[in-house]
Amino acid sequence: MSLAPSCAIVGGGLGGLVAYATLRRSGLEPEEIDVYGLDSDPAATFRTRAAAIRQQRMRSESDGHCLPSSFPGLAVRSALRRRSVSPLLASVCDRYHPTLDEFLEHVEEVRSRSGWDESLRRVRIDRVEAVDGGFALDGNGVYAHVLLAPGHPGLAFPPGLESEPRAVHAYQPHEYADEVAVVGAGMAAATEWLNALAAGSRVVSIRRREPARRPLNIERHYFTRRGLSSFHRAGGEERVALLRRFLAPSYPPGRSWDEPLARATAAGRFRVEPALNGAEQVICATGFRRGYAHDPVLARLVHEHGLETGGSWIVLAPDSTVPALTDDARTLSIAGAPGAWAHPAADTLVGMKYAARCFMRRVGRWRTR
């Protein structure tokens, strides 16, 4: 019997894959789910950006994967493959970071086993409209349950540098000049310091304040149930302030970062400056544009439906749904970077899983009626 699609995922990246795998685990068949995205490889954008900064390892830990359940994580899989307990011991100490190749192999495995290609519709969705019975997606049908996972809304350049001939974004393919100025102080910037030094360049770090040193994007506390509950209890202004603080630049502590920089500083090959100088090349390690206003689909959704916002975020319920457009008969959820109002680490794989599980529970309740 052919089953009509009851839900849709708008976004064909990692957030979409996590949601899809979670729905499949709950019992939905591929023909019950439509995924809208332009690339059949859910890691395509991530793969390109990781290659640009020569990324070797993931910042995430063992549970930074695309499977619906946290266990077994990538450390267990690595231990079984290598026949070694080393990954498990590292994971217990929160020091296991899978290699990029291990993670990409995992993504491909989830894609092939889940039926992703059967559900993928290679169509761009430009408008999501609330209608009777659910949500219309640009004339591609009406769905009772929709999860939006649009990813980041583009690369961010410092003012005046987007059209600067000597400037390139860290997430765009590039080589290294003899003298490189790296704008930014987060994970991508720190990676680029080491990349350029390894290539033989002199490096100037352009930053006005020192970055935080923490293993993950946000404090580990907020990945726990208690920490997330405290985040949900925060009022609007307090939550905006927290989210802005979490966006401050950071990269992990450790000798693998500090020792190469100390040696380069002593040799006169690395220094910190507050403003650009005459460096031959400028690498903008400044991340992504931030806020719903930079995403055309989300901006239109807010404008046309008068959605509540806080700062540059859409206000969401704790379960990642849009309150004004979600009720007993329909669901609109937001996952990934735009979903930070519900989970401060929404742009991590753990945060994506959180939104996916909440969405799955709503879809599951609807199916059992």
pLDDT band at 70 (very low <50, low <70, confident <90, very high): low
pLDDT band at 366 (very low <50, low <70, confident <90, very high): low
By CB neighbour count within 10 A (0-12 exposed, 13-18 middle, 19+ buried), where does 234 fall? middle
Structure tokens at 235: 């009022």
pTM, two decimal places:
0.91
By CB neighbour count within 10 A (0-12 exposed, 13-18 middle, 19+ buried), where does 12 fall? buried
Residue 234: per-residue pLDDT: 96
From the list 337, 266, 303, the residue with the least C-alpha distance to 13 is 337
Residue 317: per-residue pLDDT: 98
From the list 36, 30, 8, the residue with the least C-alpha distance to 122 is 36
Helix (H) or strand (E) holding 10: strand 7-10
Residue 351 has pLDDT above 70, yes or no: yes
Determine contact, residues 152/347, Cβ cutoff 8 Å: yes
DSSP notation for 191-225: HHHHHHHHTT-EEEEE-SSPPEE-SSSS-GGGGSH
* Bridge partners, 57 (sequence order): 99
Residue 220: per-residue pLDDT: 86
Express each pLDDT in 188-210 by its tens digit: 999 999 999 999 999 999 998 89
pLDDT band at 98 (very low <50, low <70, confident <90, very high): confident
Q: What is the mean pLDDT of the chain?
A: 90
% of the chain at pLDDT higher than 90: 77
By CB neighbour count within 10 A (0-12 exposed, 13-18 middle, 19+ buried), where does 356 fall? buried
Residue 96 has pLDDT above 70, yes or no: no
The mean pLDDT of 230-243, rounded to a whole number, is 96
pLDDT band at 68 (very low <50, low <70, confident <90, very high): confident
Residue 358 has pLDDT above 70, yes or no: yes
Residue 2: per-residue pLDDT: 42
CA distances from 232 to 44, 229, 238, 243 (A): 33, 5, 10, 12
pLDDT band at 63 (very low <50, low <70, confident <90, very high): low
What single letter denotes the amino acid at residue 329?
A
CA distances from 69 to 26, 48, 73, 274 (A): 11, 27, 8, 44
